[in-house]
Amino acid sequence: MDGQTRQVVVLYFITIFSLFSRYNSLEKDPPPPSYNYFEDLVSAGYDPQAYPSYFTTTIDDGHFKDLISQRTQVISQLQKLGVTSAPSTKTVNVNDFGATGDATQDTQAFEKAWEEACSSKGEVVLEVPQGQRYQLKPIRFSGPCNSNLTIQIYGSMEASDDMSDYKEDTKHWLIFDSINNLLIEGGGTGNINGNGKIWWQNSCKINKTLPCKDAPTALTFYHSKNLKVQNLNIQDAQQIHVSFEKCNGVQASGLTVAAPESSPNTDGIHVTRTQNIWITNSVIGTGDDCISIVSGSKNVQAMDITCGPGHGISIGSLGSKSSKAYVSGVTVDGAKLSGTTNGVRIKTWQARRVRKCKQHLIPEH
């Protein structure tokens, strides 16, 4: 809508408001035909010569009919311009689809709620209510969706601790796949709990006698654009806590990511093949990198990050199996690192060279 059209629309709305106000007041208390305010004023002692007034105007039925006609014309013009009333927002609550929120299995209810929310048109809010605990097996929330979707995670989503539930996919727990314009809002109370202890105990880094195996990433965003994730708590992931893969245009803010310092491979936020991502105002303390940025990523902004414990903020590792790896446009500003094994670093595999690398790090005192 151009500037001239916006001005016309504003004027129309002002006119509509005026007409509605005048018309509605008349409907409630209409004057009789040919009613003359002037005559009543004179009989009450009003002196028109001393105090001239606009009340000398006579108001008849025809004048009000004209007002009604004008209102109808204005509405018609607005419809021609494509101006309609704001659409209502549809709310989809997981409890309405059978979720109990009592820390027992609610996977099917979440799948049904997602199907309803994603297939609906317009503005949709998917609610995970506060104060309840939902235990979930691995789920892939797949798009594209018909709706502009907001997910309000105000309760707790907890991973199944039965490792056999992950036999079809040992690398993921919750996946949001191919969903554009998605907003996930935690409200400060929302919690994603990976229930990772059983996985850590079976890690080859903890028990050297065991073979090294994959473990799930708690929360994965894949192949999505214009994504916002904010005010959410993520804790005790099986391995990586949050991963952004093949995404473009990401805002991650107000996140709290936490796991014990001894937990293996529990990166806080992992960025891979993703561009134009802002990670801001977040607190991350885990057993591995607070933020890890790997090949294919560019324009990564990390600002006002509190990191520790953990391994610091890392680019890499890069160059695995003699491969070429590219990362560009990384900015770390306002980071506070405490109790970390490293600061901000670039990691490469042995015998790999790093070309065209510029570091500009300003320590904060």
Query: Percent of the chain, pLDDT > 90?
Result: 67
Question: What's the pLDDT band for 36 if we cut at 50, 70, 90?
Answer: low
- Mean pLDDT is lowest, of 67-81, 87-101, 115-129, 314-328, for 67-81
- Report whether 288 contacts 266 (CB < 8 A): yes
| pLDDT of 357 higher than 80 | no
Question: What's the pLDDT band for 19 if we cut at 50, 70, 90?
Answer: very low
Average pLDDT estimate for 311-315: 96
Average pLDDT estimate for 244-255: 99
Tokens of 238: 């099986």
Question: What's the pLDDT band for 288 if we cut at 50, 70, 90?
Answer: very high
Question: What's the pLDDT band for 320 if we cut at 50, 70, 90?
Answer: confident
Beta partners for 314? 292, 345
Question: What's the pLDDT band for 319 if we cut at 50, 70, 90?
Answer: confident
Q: Which of 255, 82, 109, 111 is nearest to 185 (CA)?
A: 255
| pLDDT (0 to 100) of residue 322 | 74
- Report whether 157 contacts 128 (CB < 8 A): yes
Q: Give the chain's domains with CATH numbers.
A: 3-80 (no CATH), 90-348 (2.160.20.10)
Does the active-site annotation cover 172? no
Tokens of 85: 């009333």
- Mean pLDDT is lowest, of 20-34, 143-157, 258-272, 342-356, for 20-34
Cα–Cα distances in Å, from 347 out to 235, 288, 312, 317?
A: 25, 13, 12, 5
The pLDDT tens digits of the residues spanning 213-235 come to 999 999 999 999 999 999 999 99
Which one of the listed residues 172, 241, 270, 311 is annotated catalytic? 311
pTM value? Answer: 0.76
- Mean pLDDT is lowest, of 64-68, 260-264, 270-274, for 64-68
| pLDDT of 37 higher than 60 | no
- Residues 6 or more apart whose CB falls under 8 angstroms from that of 245 comprise 220, 221, 222, 223, 272, 273, 274
What is the Cα–Cα distance from 123 to 280, expressed in whole angstroms? Answer: 26
